[in-house]
Structure formats: structure tokens, C-alpha cells
Amino acid sequence: MNKMGFPTCDQNRKTADFQLPRTVSDHTGPLRMENLMAPLSNTDMRDIETLVHPYTNLATHRQSGPIVIERAKGIRVYDQHGKPYIEGMSGLWCASLGFGNDEIAETAREQIANLSYTHLFASRSHESAIELAEKIKEMSPAPASKVFFTSSGSEANDTQVKLLWYYNNARGKPEKKKIISRLKGYHGVTVASASLTGLPANHTDFDLPIAGILHTDCPHYYHFAEAGESEADFSRRMAQNLEALIQEQGPETIAGFIAEPIMGAGGVILPPENYFQEIKKVLDAHDILFIADEVICGFHRTGEAFGSLTFDMEPDSISIAKAITSAYAPLGALTVNEDMYQAMLNQSEKIGTLGHGFTYSGHPLATAIGLKTLEIYERENIPGHVRTVSAIFLERLNRLADHDLIGETRGIGLIGAAEIVSDKGRKQSFDPSHGVGAIAAEFCRDEGIILRPLGDSIGFCPPLIIQEDDIHELFDGVEKALDRTQAWIQESGIQN
């Protein structure tokens, strides 16, 4: 027992009635199958006794311990044993320029030395926040009058909810407050943004979603299209179902609709043909604002500046984060159109202030790094590079569909997924309790490739600086991992 009366990690591993799960879910973190009974290191034990790991099966983690990353350079990270991995997920969809960029590091050093902190409260400002807001306005696919800075995509989407409520109060429509998201959509983990998220693990036992948050269909054509239904017909049906939900709730009660251009954590699901055009017609007919969650797609992931441009979405506002700084510092933002800004202006005059903001909104370190990141994207022609190497990336991704385990591959630019199925003809998935996707991701890690299981889909989101040889190395490793997964399935006797 430790001094607080709890079993130590080593004692917990040896407790007779503590049964290690034979399989894992899609959010377990490292299983380290080859080392489950190996002694935990001192670093492992310190981690287990001090940290709570997000999106991790905490019980399994006490058995396996962490993977400690000690350094990173380019597209590779290195663990505590010196083993290199291609970081095929850009960390968490965010390290777009890879790791250890000397130019960004020097920008950070200079900014800290010159102005380590100030804020934007009570009319304070600083140059890098102003300049970055100007650049975001210039780039935005949504009409942008102003920019509001946050420290994350979750905070940006949480702010979107608050501003929609504020806006409709300001214009005398206090009943117009409900917001529609989509099943399998991902929009963050704050109380409001996790409610927008349409994944069960983000709701179960957190007492979410909160009132006023609704969810419409997941537009995954592969799984949810009816027999003989074209993509265009499927999109029309999705829009008709949205219209039915709006009518059921009352159009006068619906304030907004939020969607990712590509559904990231829900499985890298691309929109079917004409989907957003059909959805936009419904929204416009009922005075419902359209928010594009560009947190993953923004800043060239699809080969264009924003996913909204790739899929002709025409949003009223966007939320951004992640690649705006290539994850070298936490930063998020959202755009505010002129109509909403005028409502905010009137309200703040009436109330005496805009009663919303974060200590680190527009932090000078983050905004300076954001400016440098955007400069590098433009100077190094990162969009052009993405369009060039994406042909190789997508060819190798689609080739995985030849494997017996892969039912569908989907992707665009440098983002994609391969979905593992038990029966390709029937598009049948494995029982989630088997955790096949998580096992496949662990075999990928054994092969020196870090990817993310999204249920039984394996997500790909490599740094935008990845080169052709790296792409081939990545997929060569994945192919070996899928063969090992198939052998594991056979040896385990898993039944559907």
C-alpha cells in the first residue's frame, strides 16, 4: 500500500481478482501486448501513480504502463528506448510541420524574451494577435468581421455555443437556442462541446449531452446507404431527415448547425456527393447559422486552406485550432460575422461588457508561433506539396482495400482511414468488445508506425511535410501490421 492507503501499481498488477481485459476498446492507449508481464520501470510507475491519461482505459494502463516519448524530429518520434516511429497521426491531427522545427523554436525564444505574456481583456492588445487575426480574416472561407482567440478547438466550439445564445437573445429571439450536431461528429470535451460531440464515450456517465443539443444522422454512405441508393440520393435523404428534425423541434427554436468537413475522430468520414449543398438549403430556409468545425481540416490538410473550400460548404463561421500553430503552442479561434458582431456590440453596450474570455485568449507566444507557421506554409508551398504527395498517399491507402480485413478506405489530401471488417461482402464489423482496431494499431506501433484506432477504423493524418519515401515506409509497416492482425484474429478464434 502507498502512504495514501491505495495499492501501488506493482501490487495492483498482482491482485488475484484484478482481471486484465483480453481485448481493448478504441480509446485505450498503449496495450503493449509483448510486455504485459514485463516489470514496469521506475518511470512507468511514476506515471501510473501521478497522471490521469485522457482517452485511456485506466485499468489497462495500470497493467501496461505508458509509452514515454523522449524526443522528436521531422515526422518521427523516439521513445525512451530510442526506438523511432513515423508519427502517422501528427500527434493528435495537429503537428502539421512535424517536430523540432528550428525556425519556430527560435520564434518562440524571441517572443518569450520580448513579451512573455499579456492579454486581450479590457482593451489590451499586442501586435502578433492583431496580425494573426488579420491573416485569419483574409483566409477564412466564412464571412469574418472579427476573430476571437481561444486555447483549443474545444474552447472555440464552446464559445460558438455561447455566442449563438448571446446573438439570439440580442436580436429578440430567446427561444432560438438549440444546436444540431451529427452522430459520430467530434467537437471537443468541454460540457458544451462534448455535448455537440456525437460519440457515446463522451456522454456516458458524464450526464451529457446538455439540454438543447440535438444530433442528426451520420452521413457515412458505406454503412448507412440503402440498397441501390446513389450518393446524391443518400445526401438528399440526410437533408430530408434534418428537415424533419427541425420541424419536429420547431424551426423557431433552432439556432445553429455544426459539422466537420471530414468527420475526424468519428472515423475520417468524408461527405457524400452534394451533402453539404443539400444541408445548406435546409439551414438557409430556417435562419439557422452554419458552423464549420475546421479544427482538423484547417490549414491545408485536404490540399486546400480549409475543408470548407474542398467541399463547397459556405459556412457562417469557422472554428480552428491544431495546425494553426502546428501544435507548437496551444491556440484556437473562431470567426465572427458582421451581423453577429453588431449584436455583440449592442449587448456589450447595454450590459457594460462582453462577459466572456479566457486568460490565454490570444497569448503572445501562441499567436507569434501561429504567424510563423502560416508564413512557413506559404513560403514552403505546403499546399502544393500536399497536393503532390497526396496522390501517392491515396494510392497506397486505397491499395489496403485489397487486404482481406479492409472493407473500405477513404481519404483526401493527407487524411484518411482504412476500416477493418469481419465480412467484406456484408460490410460487417467485428464485435466492439474484441477491440480489433486497437490491436491493429498496436501491431502498427510494433512496426514503427503510430496511427490511431477509431473504433475499427485506422486513422491516418501524417505531418504535411511527409515525403514519398516516408509514405511508402508508413504503408509497408501498416500492411505487415494488418497481416499480423489477421493472424491474431485466427489464433484467437474471434467470431462475429
CA 311 to chain centre: 18
State how far the Cα of 280 lies from the Cα of 291, in Å rounded to an integer: 11
Q: Are 269 and 263 in contact (CB under 8 A)?
A: yes
Query: Which residue carries 455566442 as its cell?
Result: 163
Residue 30 confidence (pLDDT): 41
Residue 21 confidence (pLDDT): 32
Residue 343 confidence (pLDDT): 96
**Residue 185 amino acid letter:** G
State how far the Cα of 260 lies from the Cα of 268, in Å rounded to an integer: 10
Per-residue pLDDT of the chain (496 residues; tens, 9 = 90+): 333 333 333 433 332 232 333 333 334 444 445 444 568 999 999 999 999 999 999 999 999 999 999 999 999 999 999 999 999 999 999 999 999 999 999 999 999 999 999 999 999 999 999 999 999 999 999 999 999 999 999 999 999 999 999 999 999 999 999 999 999 999 999 999 999 999 999 999 999 999 999 999 999 999 999 999 999 999 999 999 999 999 999 999 999 999 999 999 999 999 999 999 999 999 999 999 999 999 999 999 999 999 999 999 999 999 999 999 999 999 999 999 999 999 999 999 999 999 999 999 999 999 999 999 999 999 999 999 999 999 999 999 999 999 999 999 999 999 999 999 999 999 999 999 999 999 999 999 999 999 999 999 999 999 999 999 999 999 999 999 999 999 999 998 886 6
All residues at 6 or more sequence positions from 322 whose CB lies less than 8 Å from its CB, including other chains: 92, 93, 94, 96, 153, 295, 296, 298, 299
Q: Are 66 and 30 in contact (CB under 8 A)?
A: yes
**Order of strands, edge to edge, in the sheet holding 452-454?**
406-412, 415-420, 457-460, 452-454
Residue 18 confidence (pLDDT): 27
Which cell numbers in the block locate residue 142? 466564412
DSSP labels, 202-263: GTTTTT-SPTTEEEE----HHHHPPTT--HHHHHHHHHHHHHHHHHHH-GGGEEEEEE-SSB
Residue 493 confidence (pLDDT): 86
Residue 496 confidence (pLDDT): 63
Give the chain's end-to-end CA distance (angstroms, integer). 42
All structural domains of the chain, each given as residue ranges with its CATH number in brackets, are: 68-98+383-492 (3.90.1150.10), 103-379 (3.40.640.10)
Residue 494 confidence (pLDDT): 84
Closest CA to 373 of 307, 329, 309: 329
DSSP labels, 257-325: EEE-SSBTTTT-BPPPTTHHHHHHHHHHHTT-EEEEE-TTTTTTTTSSS-HHHHTT---SEEEE-GGGT
pLDDT tens for each residue of 219-244: 999 999 999 999 999 999 999 999 99
Q: Are 295 and 320 in contact (CB under 8 A)?
A: yes
Closest CA to 212 of 233, 197, 196: 196
Strands of 68-169 (E only): list them.
69-73, 76-79, 84-87, 146-150
